[in-house]
Chain A
C-alpha cells in the first residue's frame, strides 16, 4: 500500500487528520517495527494523553498510562522510543521551548 502524506523535515506528520491505523503500520515498518497488541497499547496511551493535554507526552507518562515498563517500551520501539512513538502515533515532536 502506498500512502501520500505530508511530514515536516524531521518526519513528523504535518496534519494530524492524515493519521490512521494503517498509516501507523506503514510508518512503523519504515523503522523496522511490526506493530502488535503491545505496541498498540503504548501508541493508544500516547495518543490519548496528547489529545487530553495538547503536548507530546514523555515516556514516563506513557509508561504509567499504558502500564508498560519503560524498559519494555525500549524493546518495543528500539532506537529512540520517544521519537518513534510520536512519529508512528502521528503526534508532534516531543520538544522544549527553545
Chain B
C-alpha cells in the first residue's frame, strides 16, 4: 500500500483528500492528519457576530466531512522527516508517506502582541477569526451602546484579506439598524497605506468608506494593546483609542513548521508559485493558507489549487515532473452591508477588474460592483461549500483565471497592473 499523507483537514486538505480518493487507484491510501473533531465553515465567522449566522450551521463533524475511503489520523503533527519520509505525531507511531501535502493552514496569534491577551481580552478586545472569538463578539456587540469601535488589522498576511473591511461595512449596517450608528465612531486601522491598496479598487470603491463614514488610520502597525487606557499603540507611538476593539491578530503557520526546517520566519512554507511543490523537495507539496505564496489566503484559492494539484500528484506518481499550472487565481465575495456585496476575481498578475462572472457579458454576477445578487450568492455559498466544494464535486468555475468578461480598459486607463 502506498500513501499520500495530507497534513490538515481544513478546506484545502479535505477537498484535496476527496479529489485524490476519486483519482488514485485502490492500492493508494489517502490519509489526513488532524486533531480536531469538527470542521468550521470559516466564512460564517464574518456574519456570526451580527447574529446573522449560527454555530450549528457553520460547524460539522469532521467524520462527516471526510467520509469513507479516507484514512483519518486524529492526532497532532510534531515534525516532518523528509529523509525518512515520515511524520512524527503526538499520538502513535510515526506515519510514513510516499507523497506529502502540507495543508495545515494558519493560526491566529494574539499572544504575539503585547497586552492583547491582557485584562481586556474578550472584555473590550475581540477577534472574529475564531469561533469562540466571534461568539464572544456577538454578545459584546449586542450590548454595545455607542462609542469608538476600532477594527484593526495588526499585520499582513492574514486569512481572507478583505474580511476586516467587510466587518467594518457590516458593523456600519448593524449599528444603523440598531439606531446607534450616530453615537459611534467607526475606525479602520491598517498597517497598509490605505483601506484599498490597488489603484482600480481604490478609485472605484473609495466611496464606500466615505458613504459609510468609516475613518481610516493608515500605516498603523500595532505594537501594543493597552487595555487599561483602552488604546492601541503603534511602533511609531501613535495611539488609537477604542471602547470596543475588533482585532485581526498576527497569523503564523502551524507551530511545528515555525520551529522546523520547512517553515519560514512566520512558519509559512516556501512553495513554488506555479507547481505548489515545497522548495527543495520532490515528494512534498503545500497548499491553502500554509504556503508563503503571494496569492490570497482564502478558501477559493485552496479550491483552485486542489483542482490543479491533483493533476500534479498524478504526474509525480507516474514519475513525471509537476507542471507549473497554478496562476494565483482567487475569487471572493466582499460584503458591503445592507444586503449588498461585490465579487472580485483576480490572480498573481491581474488585479480585480470590473465585468461579469462567470459568463462573459451575461454574469449573472457583476464584478467589482455592489449588487444584491452577489450578497445572495455569498449566502448560498455555504451550501455549495458543504455539498460541492469540500467533497470535491464538480463546480462550474475554472481553476485558472479567465480574462473573458472583464473590462481590461478600466485598468489601462489608470496605467494599472
Q: Are A96 and B293 in contact (CB under 8 A)?
A: no
Question: Is the C-beta of B192 less than 8 angstroms from some C-beta in chain A?
Answer: yes
Count A interface residues, CB 8 Å.
26
Nearest-Cβ distance from residue B334 to partner chain A, whole angstroms: 7
Nearest-Cβ distance from residue A52 to partner chain B, whole angstroms: 6
Nearest-Cβ distance from residue B357 to partner chain A, whole angstroms: 16
Q: Are A58 and B344 in contact (CB under 8 A)?
A: no
Q: Are B235 and A80 in contact (CB under 8 A)?
A: no
Q: Are B219 and A96 in contact (CB under 8 A)?
A: no
Q: Do A98 and B221 form a contact, CB below 8 Å, given A60-B250, A70-B235?
A: no
Q: Do A98 and B344 form a contact, CB below 8 Å, given A9-B415, A53-B293, A53-B294?
A: yes
Q: Are B219 and A93 in contact (CB under 8 A)?
A: no
Question: Is the C-beta of B143 less than 8 angstroms from some C-beta in chain A?
Answer: no
Question: What is the 8 Å Cβ interface bit string for chain A, positions 73-93, against chain B (1 contact, 0 not)?
Answer: 010001010110000000001
Residues of chain A with a CB closer than 8 A to B196's CB: 98
- A81, B161: Cα distance in complex, Å: 21
Across the interface, A54 reaches (CB within 8 A) one of B165, B235, B293, namely B293
Residues of chain B with a CB closer than 8 A to A61's CB: 264-266
Chain A residue with Cβ nearest B252: A60
Q: Are B293 and A58 in contact (CB under 8 A)?
A: no
> For window 226-247 of chain B, which residues contact chain A by CB distance below 8 Å?
235-236
Q: Are A95 and B334 in contact (CB under 8 A)?
A: no
Q: Are B162 and A96 in contact (CB under 8 A)?
A: yes
Residues of chain B with a CB closer than 8 A to A78's CB: 236
How many cross-chain pairs have Cβ atoms below 8 Å apart between A and B? Answer: 89
Question: Is the C-beta of B115 less than 8 angstroms from some C-beta in chain A?
Answer: no
Interface of B is mostly: loop
Nearest-Cβ distance from residue B102 to partner chain A, whole angstroms: 16
Q: Are B270 and A98 in contact (CB under 8 A)?
A: no
Residues of chain B with a CB closer than 8 A to A74's CB: 235-236
Q: Are A95 and B197 in contact (CB under 8 A)?
A: yes
Question: What is the 8 Å Cβ interface bit string for chain A, positions 37-62, against chain B (1 contact, 0 not)?
Answer: 00000000000010011110011110
Question: Is the C-beta of B273 less than 8 angstroms from some C-beta in chain A?
Answer: yes
Across the interface, B294 reaches (CB within 8 A) one of A55, A60, A82, A98, namely A55
Stretch of B37-45, B198-206, B389-397 that contacts chain A: B198-206
Chain A residue with Cβ nearest B334: A98
Question: Is the C-beta of A64 less than 8 angstroms from some C-beta in chain B?
Answer: yes
Nearest-Cβ distance from residue B180 to partner chain A, whole angstroms: 28
Q: Do A54 and B197 form a contact, CB below 8 Å, given A96-B162, A97-B296?
A: no
- A14, B346: Cα distance in complex, Å: 21
Given contacts A52-B264, A94-B156, A98-B198, 12 further A-B contacts (CB under 8 A): A9-B199, A53-B293, A54-B273, A59-B155, A70-B221, A71-B235, A74-B235, A82-B191, A94-B192, A96-B198, A98-B196, A98-B197
Contact residues of B with A, CB < 8 Å?
155-157, 161-162, 165, 191-193, 196-199, 201, 205, 219, 221, 223, 235-236, 250, 264-266, 270, 273, 279, 292-294, 296, 330, 332, 334, 344, 346, 348, 352, 415
